[in-house]
Amino acid sequence: MNFFQTVVISIVEGITEFLPISSTGHMIITEKLLHLSEDEFTKTFTVAIQLGAILAVVVLYRKLFFKLSNLSFYTKLIAGVIPAIVLGALFSKKIDLLLDSSLTVAVSLLVGGVVFLFIDKVFQSNIEEKETSYKNAVVIGFWQCLAMIPGVSRSASSIIGGMQQKLTRAQAAEFSFFLAVPTMLAATGYKLLKYYKSSGGFAKQDLQLLAVGNLVAFVVAIIAIKFFIDFLKKYGFRIWGYYRIIVGLLLLILIWRGVIK
């Protein structure tokens, strides 16, 4: 992996991590278009740069994250992340196999896109301004697990889960961002530790690429989060549905033509 590839991958991560369009799906597509090797460091890097995206959430919502007296905020996040930790551990090998499937990404993007065309109407009479409960957090946590299928989108599944639990679009999106912190922190920590043990440590170049990648992902993610909340309040999900359908169809064409395997 060279510097240019590092920056491109990190920009894609920063933009897509919190948008309902599947960061994993876009990363897989980008990796294949850049002809990145499928070595262990590359696989670790694409997960580890989520740390930059995590930091963006913590910085933007620092008043919540550093309000230590609000214990329920932290315990609700812990409750919400438990389903992903348990199911992720149980099905880690099957999930890794799915990550190599461009066809899975394409189908997931298409199906999710169709769902997005109707999701606002489905929940428009069902939402209300309320505090997120422990039950809401756990249910949203199970919805988030759908994103273990590449192309589904962690952000999308958890936001839809929040709306299903009668949260407003903005509330659901923000809780999705908050839930991303422990979820991605656990996934990143596990991946880094696994790579460290298998390779005997990180080379100097590896650490430099990880530093650049996380910095780029952090800056881009801050911009993406601010944009998405305002956009979602005004326009809802429909436009993301069209985007997913277009990208899914293009990916199917690229697979059919042999450009992407």
Q: What pLDDT was estimated at residue 124?
A: 67
C-alpha distances in Å from residue 65, one per residue of 71, 74, 75: 10, 8, 12
Residue 147 lies in a domain: yes
Domain hosting residue 119, numbered range = 3-256
Predicted local distance difference test score (pLDDT) of residue 231 = 86
173 φ, ψ to 5°? -65, -45
The predicted pLDDT at position 127 comes to 65
- The whole-number pLDDT of residue 218 equals 96
| 32-61 CB burial, b ≥16 within 10 A, e <16 | beeebeeeebebbbbbbbbbbbbbbbeebb
* High-pLDDT (> 90) share of the chain, %: 37
Structural domain total, the chain: 1
Residue 261 lies in a domain: no
Q: What is the structure's pLDDT at 200?
A: 82
pLDDT given at position 11: 95
Give a yes or no: residue 221 inside a domain: yes
pLDDT single digits (tens) 117-132: 988 788 765 566 678 8
Q: Is residue 133 part of a domain?
A: yes
Q: How many CB atoms lie within 10 A of CB 63?
A: 8
Prediction pTM value? 0.85
d(CA 103, CA 118) in angstroms, rounded, equals 24
* Distance of alpha carbon 46 from alpha carbon 209, whole angstroms: 11
Residues of the chain falling short of pLDDT 50: none
Return the pLDDT at 126: 59
Q: How many other C-beta atoms lie within 10 A of the C-beta of residue 210?
A: 21
**Which tokens belong to 120?**
């606002």
Residue pLDDT, tens place only, 171-226: 888 899 999 898 888 888 888 888 888 888 888 899 999 999 999 999 999 999 98
CB of 147 closer than 8 Å to CB of 109 = no
User: Which pLDDT belongs to residue 197?
Assistant: 86
- 107 part of a folded domain: yes
